[in-house]
């Protein structure tokens, strides 16, 4: 099994981590690059001090001497300092770009490893595609993380270095630094303490709107009915209003921070001018130091006023990481159990002993069921819709565990086997679907043990090989997605071929044959007689009548063995 690349973003004990905690863990995955970015930012902050220091020296030089040489030296120093800072910014951007690419690959690998092993209940219905939409937030994480690591971090570190410079000028300026830092902290952390929460609420409201629009697109025929467009509009409008309310709540916090930062800029610049002027009048500060201090403070507070953009980026990052976290937290199927690297030869024996199943407190879909199928035999389970056939298929495939009784394959209880081993030996065909790829891709399914020869053999067994061979592109015909050149029956047969290509020892077919006509079913059953045990679940008496061994499911009514009675067929 491939280890998820973003596993550290999930709590080991299964609890949900906060978005800031996930951000910290995400950065920890790339700590070497993050430290490189921090080092570059510190160096850039030191080099950019060349301007205020040079201005201080220039003012003092002009005030006490008229020599040209010091001015030339200061000009060269400023040039070299800013050139060095520019080079470091370029290198820093390169590191951030690599980090962004690595983040995208990590997220793609993580989701590709989690989705196949996620529980079916977590992906049921439209929930699966809706959840995968969260992957688009990875792009927003990339963008905001890059902005914060380059711009916001540079602003913070340059401010710290600049304030450290002021502290060396005079003790009063050190106190000014402390007050200024406290005011900045109050604006960022005090006023904005609810910012992450409101940003997440805004993001949730946005995705609720998107989910509804996806529902409309997926059920386009349903909403063709006269008058339904008004319902679609009203619900979309309600969700849009909910989003606007959440956005306004969040923006109020952001607007307060922006307004206070502008006010702080005015107070800080004016306050330093008055304080510095008084110190110059007392001879405790030179004119050059005052000019340099003004440049430093103005740069710091100007950076703070632009910090509103970075604060919004941070809030967007929190919301995006929260959405990506829903993918990381997808419930996974069990990984415990006996693992067999190679399957035993020959078909499997299946024994069900007084098996019952309870689903989410809804009661048992069928009464205690007992069934024994000998290796290589074929049997049918007949039941009306809702009688529990699909629940039985889920039991055999390890999706659920029986509430009582035992499901035994070749003498081993299925719950003792790992799902990987169980599903290699037991294949379930249900709701035939094709993914975007060729016919061959859909049969092979990337399994290394499934060769082209095995795929051709499987297509021949289901009677589809001659039809596929007659097509211009043959096995390379594109199917799935927007391309669907196959009929319903051809899709069902292709899904059967996919299962047969894996050489299962027990093949469970859940209502797939119900979509096929009688002659096709008869031919298929003859072709399926082979090296596997066959269990067909059906709601059609004509399909069940093709089997000598069959079981009748009537919901919670007792299960009986034998032929179907006329009363049972009529019901």
Report residue 562's pLDDT band, with 50, 70 and 90 as the boundaries: very low
Domain 8-328 shares a fold with domain 350-570 = no
pTM, 2 dp? 0.74
CATH superfamily, domain 8-328, is: ABC transporter type 1, transmembrane domain (1.20.1560.10)
Per-residue confidence (pLDDT) for residue 452, from 0 to 100: 92
Instruction: Please name the helix (run of DSSP H) or strand (run of DSSP E) that holds residue 493, with its range, or none.
Output: helix 488-501
Closest CA to 496 of 470, 459, 534, 465: 459
Closest CA to 514 of 544, 538, 498: 538
Tokens of 474: 């043959």
Most confident of the following: 45-59, 140-154, 305-319, 413-427 = 413-427
Q: What band does 360 get if pLDDT is binned at 50, 70 and 90?
A: low
Question: pLDDT tier at 132 (50, 70, 90 boundaries)?
Answer: confident
- Tokens linked to 444: 């092979």
pLDDT tier, 560 (very low <50, low <70, confident <90, very high otherwise) = very low
User: What is the pLDDT at residue 201?
Assistant: 93
- Is the model's pLDDT at 144 over the cut of 70? yes
In whole angstroms, what is the distance from residue 348 CA to residue 346 CA?
7
CATH of domain 350-570: 3.40.50.300
DSSP E strand stretches across 478-525: 478-479, 506-510
Q: How far is CA 25 from the centre of its chain?
A: 16
- Tell me, rounded to whole angstroms, the distance of Cα 257 from its chain centroid: 31
Q: Give bridge partners of residue 373 from the DSSP assignment.
A: 350
Cα 277 to Cα 289: distance, rounded to the nearest angstrom:
11
Check residue 483 and give its pLDDT. 61
Q: What percent of the chain has pLDDT over 70?
A: 87
Length of the chain: 571
- Beginning with the edge strand found earlier in the chain, give each strand of the sheet holding 533-538 in spatial order: 426-430, 506-510, 533-538, 378-383, 549-553, 560-561
Q: Where are the domains of the chain?
A: 8-328, 350-570
| Cα–Cα distance, 92 to 37 (Å, whole number) | 6
Bridge partner list, 429? 509
Residue 43 is predicted with a pLDDT of 86
């Amino acid at each position: 099994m491939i280890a998820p690349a973003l596993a550290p973003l999930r709590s080991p004990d299964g609890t949900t981590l906060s978005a800031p905690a996930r951000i910290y863990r995400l950065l920890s995955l790339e700590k070497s690059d993050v430290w490189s970015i921090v080092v570059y930012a510190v160096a850039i902050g030191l080099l950019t001090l060349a301007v205020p220091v040079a201005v201080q020296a220039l003012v003092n030089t002009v005030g006490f001497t008229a020599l040209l040489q010091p001015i030339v030296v200061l000009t060269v120093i400023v040039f070299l300092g800013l050139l060095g800072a520019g080079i470091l910014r370029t290198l820093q951007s390169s590191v951030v770009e690599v980090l962004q690419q690595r983040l995208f690959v990590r997220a793609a690998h993580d989701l590709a490893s989690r989705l196949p092993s996620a529980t079916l209940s977590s992906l049921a219905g439209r929930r699966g595609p809706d959840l995968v939409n969260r992957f688009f937030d990875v792009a927003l994480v990339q963008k905001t993380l890059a902005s914060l690591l380059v711009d916001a971090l540079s602003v913070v570190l340059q401010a710290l270095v600049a304030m450290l410079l002021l502290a060396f000028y005079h003790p009063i300026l050190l106190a000014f630094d402390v007050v200024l830092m406290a005011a900045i902290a109050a604006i960022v952390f005090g006023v904005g303490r609810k910012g992450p929460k409101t940003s997440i609420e805004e993001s949730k409201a946005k995705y609720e709107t998107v989910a509804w629009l996806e529902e409309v697109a997926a059920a386009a025929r349903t909403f063709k009915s006269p008058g339904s467009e008004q319902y679609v509009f009203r619900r979309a409008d309600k969700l849009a209003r909910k989003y606007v309310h959440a956005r306004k709540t969040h923006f109020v916090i952001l607007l307060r921070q922006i307004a206070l930062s502008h006010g702080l800029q005015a107070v800080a610049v004016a306050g330093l001018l008055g304080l510095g002027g008084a110190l110059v009048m007392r001879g405790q500060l030179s004119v050059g130091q005052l000019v340099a201090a003004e440049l430093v403070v103005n740069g710091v507070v100007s950076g703070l006023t632009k910090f509103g953009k970075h604060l919004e980026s941070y809030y967007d990052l929190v919301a995006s990481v929260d959405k990506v976290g829903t993918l990381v937290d997808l419930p996974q199927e069990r990984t415990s159990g006996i693992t067999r690297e190679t399957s035993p030869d020959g078909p499997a024996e299946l024994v069900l002993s007084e098996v019952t199943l309870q689903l989410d407190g809804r009661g048992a879909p069928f009464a205690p069921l007992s069934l024994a199928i000998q290796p290589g035999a074929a049997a049918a389970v007949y039941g009306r819709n809702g009688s529990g056939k699909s629940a039985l298929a889920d039991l055999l495939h390890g999706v659920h565990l029986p509430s009582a009784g035992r499901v035994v394959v070749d003498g081993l209880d299925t719950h003792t086997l790992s799902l990987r081993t169980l599903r290699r030996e037991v294949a379930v065909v249900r709701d035939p679907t094709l993914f975007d790829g060729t016919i061959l891709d859909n049969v092979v399914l990337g399994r290394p043990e499934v060769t082209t020869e095995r795929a051709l053999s499987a297509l021949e067994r289901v009677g589809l090989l001659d039809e596929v061979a007659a097509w211009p592109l043959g096995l390379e015909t594109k199917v799935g997605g927007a391309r669907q050149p196959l009929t319903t029956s051809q899709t069902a047969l292709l899904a059967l071929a996919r299962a047969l290509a894996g050489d299962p020892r027990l093949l469970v077919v859940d209502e797939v044959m119900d979509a096929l006509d009688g002659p096709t079913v008869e031919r298929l059953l003859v072709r399926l007689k082979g090296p596997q045990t066959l269990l067909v679940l059906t709601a059609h008496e004509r399909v069940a009548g093709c089997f000598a061994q069959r079981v009748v499911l009537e919901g919670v009514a007792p299960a009986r063995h034998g032929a179907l009675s006329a009363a049972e067929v009529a019901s």
